[in-house]
Amino acid sequence: EVQLLESGGDLVQPGGSLRLSCAASGFTFTSFAMTWVRQAPGKGLEWVAAIGGRYSYTYYADSVKGRFTLSRDNSKNTLYLQMNSLRADDTAVYYCGKRALDTGSIDSWGRGTLVTV
């Protein structure tokens, strides 16, 4: 069974930094692209960033480009989101997602971790 467990969410001051982690299990982590999606209070889902599997390309939403860095440690089956220069509008629940091989849709999601700025 695929499991994704986010951690690292916290209360942080504007301008501060935080690193989120997503521990993955139940699948061959190296083979799959991964993504982060967030939901601000009372708002809809917002795509944040994506990273490839073995070749680790990265893409970011304009709202976080230059401030957030997505990386992965395939030896630890863990995804990371380094968030710098945090702003009040980064306040959200951050979800980690596994992307399907062929379609890119998010076929497994974590329960999320709350970041409050």
Partner 1 sequence: DIQLTQSPSFLSASVGDRVTITCRASQGIRRYLAWYQHEPGKAPKLLIYSASTLQSGVPSRFSGSGSGTEFTLTISSLQPEDFATYYCQQLDDYPHTFGGGTKVEIK
Residues that bind partner 1 (CB under 8 A): 35, 37, 44-47, 50, 59-62, 95, 100, 103-107, 109-112
What is the closest distance, in whole angstroms, from the C-beta atom of residue 105 to partner 1 in the complex? 4
Torsion angle of C-alpha atoms 96, 76, 28, 101, degrees rounded to 10: 40
User: 2: which 2 tokens?
Assistant: 């695929």
Q: How far is the CB of 73 from partner 1 (least distance, A)?
A: 23
Tokens 């329960």 locate to 111
User: Of 51 and 86, which has the nearer Cβ to partner 1?
Assistant: 51
